[in-house]
Amino acid sequence: MLIDISSELRSVEDSDLFIVLTNKLSSFYLIGAATSNKIGINYGQLGNNLPSPYQSIQLIKSMEAGQVKIYDANPEILKLLSGTNLKVSIMVQNHEIIDISSSQTSADQWVQNNVLAYYPETMIRFILVGNEILSYSSPQDQQIWHNLVPAMHKIKNSLTTQNIHNIKVGTPLAMDIFQTSFPPSSGEFRSDISNLVMLPLLNFLNQTKSFFFIDVYPYFAWSTNSINISLDFALFKATQNYIDPKSGLVYTNLLDQMLDSVIFAVEKLGYSNIPIAISETGWPNNGDIEQVGANIYNAATYNRNLIKKMTTKPALGTPARPGLVIPTFIFSLFDENQKPGPGIERHWGLFHSDGISIYEIDLTGKRELSDYKPLPAPQNNQPYKGKVWCVAARGVDVMSLSTALTYACSQGNETCDALVPGKECYEPLSVFWHASFAFSSYWAQFRSMGATCHFNGLAQQTTRNPSRGSCNFPSVTL
């Protein structure tokens, strides 16, 4: 059967056009603009020691990446990307969504400032509205939920008015959008967002032939359930398959399971032809002591095997969507030392902040896995059992340490009572000693409420007991 798609081709660059036949033989997708099996890179800038944008773009080009995604519409970066072959994803930041959704003029101005000022010399192919919006649930955040899809419509209207049809509009979501995600065939969105946000979003993506963007991290699924999920299954190395009891589909890796849970959830709401794109995925190369499996060996193994899978021709797709090209962005270019939260948050990079690779990687997928040099053996693939303390890091700024000490001691709960004059931990009288005790005491007392051993990079974990004499440092038992 011949299908006339000529009307769809008028505004799409021929070199960017892909037509994908789905596993439903009667159904075709037209996926224009940015569809590519060339691996993309997430270029974040939450670090105070990163290479310049110029150096970073040169590095991305040298890696032969096909795409780059940034978390704003940074003018310097967009200018530097002009004339390159890199397809670019830019972002409407969360705080901009309400204004854009309420005014077509605001949307037009955003497109004027952040797209037309650089396009087409800079190959902008995706505009992502917000970042993991549905992962936040305060009253203010829920107001943004209501404005998300209207903002996407207005950005799309602005592009259409400018006769730009090869830039797709989407929004990246995290895996916490699910009520149920296992087995994949049971995939179902949360009840608080299903009708309110997901149905309008899917309708928009279907009408505009755009992608469902998902941030998908097998690391988190495995590390929180390592008893039931094998590490090899998460790293694309499994020797045993998993068969979905409802669909009968056979899975060889955890990523495919997670992606298909998206596909099944989308289909439950009546949409079977919306393609998916991976806006973030990766594996941490380091982390805190309690963060199992965060090491260079696993990070390199995951990303190398991911690249092999996603660059294979013809495309592999997933068990539910065999043959589907899935645009994929690895997170991230650099380790970013100013990201808040647990240690792994600062260790997803392919490169150190000095531009030196953390491990060898070939984004083209052409290099055989056997051609890489041996990796350091993993030391933390099993959970650590024992006591951990939080102490001041060596070599940090004393003034900053003093400020952090004051903060830790101001939180109450007798955090620093042992440091007052005459008490058991008052001596030696040094900022480093007092901060180390305060950090350990604070972390031990408030860890259950989300406190981390970080203090803006001034603290580090240790398994060596720092206590001296009668001064006993509080600890966390893992």
The closest of 394, 399, 406, 401 to 456, measured between CA atoms, is: 401
201, 266 in Cβ contact below 8 A? Answer: no
Amino acid at 15: S
Cα separation values, 175 from 67, 172, 188, 381, 443, Å: 23, 10, 11, 23, 28
Residue position matching structure tokens 């699924």: 221
Q: Which residues pair with 385 in a beta bridge?
A: none
For the question of residue 360 being annotated catalytic, the response is no
Query: CA angle 373-374-379, nearest 5°?
Result: 145
DSSP track, 358-400:
SS---TTS-S-GGGSPPPPPPS-SS---SEEEEEEPTT--HHH
| 267 in catalytic set | no
The CA-CA-CA angle for residues 240, 244, 248, to 5°, reads: 105
Of all helices (H) and strands (E), which one includes residue 460?
strand 459-462
CA–CA separation, 98 vs 119, rounded Å? 25
Within the chain, what is the greatest distance between any pair of CA atoms?
A: 89
Q: How far apart are CA 142 and CA 212, in angstroms?
A: 20
Cα–Cα distance between 386 and 477 in angstroms, integer? 6
Contact 472, 444 (CB under 8 A): no
Please report, as a single letter, which amino acid is at residue 27: S
Of the residues 8, 76, 121, 132, only one is catalytic, namely 132
Cα 97 vs. chain centroid, distance in angstroms?
20
- Give the Cα separation of 310 and 218 in Å (integer): 15
Which of 96, 121, 267, 280 is catalytic? The answer is: 280
The two structure tokens encoding residue 35: 């569809």
Contact call for residues 287 and 343 (beta carbons, < 8 A):
yes
Cα–Cα distance measured from residue 391 to residue 444, given in angstroms and rounded to the nearest whole number:
12
Q: What are phi and psi of 138, to 5 degrees?
A: -65, 165
- Catalytic residue positions, numbered: 132, 280
